[in-house]
């Protein structure tokens, strides 16, 4: 059992938890994820690690309540326990001094961008971060992202905070302003349509773009095939080959179709849970 040490509510649907998981904290690297299960019969859900503290033996997760399991998770409080918390899983982010890197975090995707941006800055990169959300209420960790970025840009879809627009608008502006040859890498994490849109922008400029995919998962060890995705015409497994891939090679249309496979069941489970 894994104890929830702290819980912060960023908005009615976005929550942060610090989990006591010393063995995960000892080994995890930026870009990796955990699979958790709230109770014995619960669904397994993957969540990318948002932060870790090796000394305290803790892992920070940030999640958005979108279905039954994340809603149930959101009802737990500090002092409660989670049945399973398996990790670290997946391949860590490739960190080196690339030069200038743009890190884009959309919505709850801001959380997994944070440790990667931090590692990239520590490696000597000029880190330009762009964070965005639908509204001000859904934006979080602006202060933390500022700490690990050389420059930070903030945007909201509805204009309720800082500037109005999408992260892709800012991304395009920065590339135009600085010149495509002065941007060495783009990292984009967030909802699938956002990552796809970022890739569409950078493809025109020929800038390598890494995305972190959020596929459905069961075992997390490459055996069940649930997280299968096509990258560059090859079948890859998000849980072991990813979660990060070259975004220009990802078949996003297939990923969207596969992600929607159990939507009806997910909706029924959510209705049963909330009724």
Instruction: Catalog residues that contact ligand FES under the rule CB under 6 A.
Output: 217-220, 222-227, 237, 239
Is the Cβ of residue 73 or residue 215 nearer to ligand FES in the bound state? 215
Closest distance to ligand FES from the beta carbon of 24 (Å) = 17
| CA-derived radius of gyration, the chain | 18
Sheet hosting strand 2-9, strand order edge to edge: 51-53, 58-64, 14-20, 2-9, 81-82
Closest distance to ligand FES from the beta carbon of 67 (Å) = 17
Is the Cβ of residue 71 or residue 258 nearer to ligand FES in the bound state? 258
Quick one: 47 exposed, middle or buried, by C-beta within 10 A (0-12, 13-18, 19+)? buried
Closest distance to ligand FES from the beta carbon of 44 (Å) = 9
Instruction: Sort strands 209-212 and 185-189 into parallel, antiparallel or unpaired.
Output: parallel
Closest distance to ligand FES from the beta carbon of 228 (Å) = 7
Closest distance to ligand FES from the beta carbon of 178 (Å) = 37
Closest distance to ligand FES from the beta carbon of 207 (Å) = 29
Is the Cβ of residue 13 or residue 224 nearer to ligand FES in the bound state? 224
Is the Cβ of residue 207 or residue 216 nearer to ligand FES in the bound state? 216
**Is the bond preceding 243 in cis, omega lying within 30 degrees of 0?**
yes
Is the Cβ of residue 126 or residue 236 nearer to ligand FES in the bound state? 236
CB atoms within 10 A of CB 119: 19
Query: Hey, what are 157's tokens?
Result: 């879809």
70: Cα separation from own chain's centroid: 15
Is the Cβ of residue 90 or residue 105 nearer to ligand FES in the bound state? 90
**Could you give the residue ranges of the DSSP H alpha helices within the chain?**
22-27, 68-75, 110-122, 142-147, 167-178, 192-205, 238-241, 252-259, 263-274
Task: Give me the residue label for tokens 């220009």.
Answer: 248
Contact predicate 187/103, CB 8 Å: yes
């Amino acid at each position: 059992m894994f104890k929830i040490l702290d819980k912060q509510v960023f908005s009615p649907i976005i929550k942060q938890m610090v989990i006591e998981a010393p063995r995960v904290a000892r080994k995890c690297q930026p870009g990796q994820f955990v699979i958790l299960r709230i109770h014995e019969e619960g669904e397994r859900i993957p969540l990318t690690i948002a932060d870790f503290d090796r000394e305290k033996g803790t892992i920070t997760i940030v999640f958005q309540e979108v279905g039954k399991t994340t809603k149930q998770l959101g009802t737990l409080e500090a002092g409660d326990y989670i049945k399973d918390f398996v990790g670290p899983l997946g391949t860590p982010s490739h960190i080196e001094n690339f030069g200038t890197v743009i890190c884009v975090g959309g919505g709850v995707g801001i959380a997994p961008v944070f440790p990667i941006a931090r590692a990239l800055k520590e490696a000597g990169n000029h880190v330009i971060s762009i964070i965005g959300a639908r509204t001000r209420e859904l934006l979080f960790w602006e202060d933390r992202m500022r700490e690990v970025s050389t420059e930070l840009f903030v945007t909201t879809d509805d204009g309720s905070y800082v500037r109005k627009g999408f992260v892709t608008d800012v991304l395009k502006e920065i590339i135009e302003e600085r010149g495509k040859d002065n941007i060495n890498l783009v990292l984009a994490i967030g909802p699938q349509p956002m990552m796809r849109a970022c890739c569409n922008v950078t493809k025109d400029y020929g800038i390598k773009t890494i995305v972190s995919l959020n596929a459905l998962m069961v075992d997390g060890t490459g055996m069940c095939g649930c997280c299968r995705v096509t990258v560059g015409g090859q079948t890859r497994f998000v849980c072991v080959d990813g979660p990060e891939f070259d975004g220009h090679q990802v078949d996003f249309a297939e990923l969207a179709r596969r992600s929607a496979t159990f939507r009806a069941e997910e909706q029924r489970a959510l209705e049963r849970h909330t009724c």
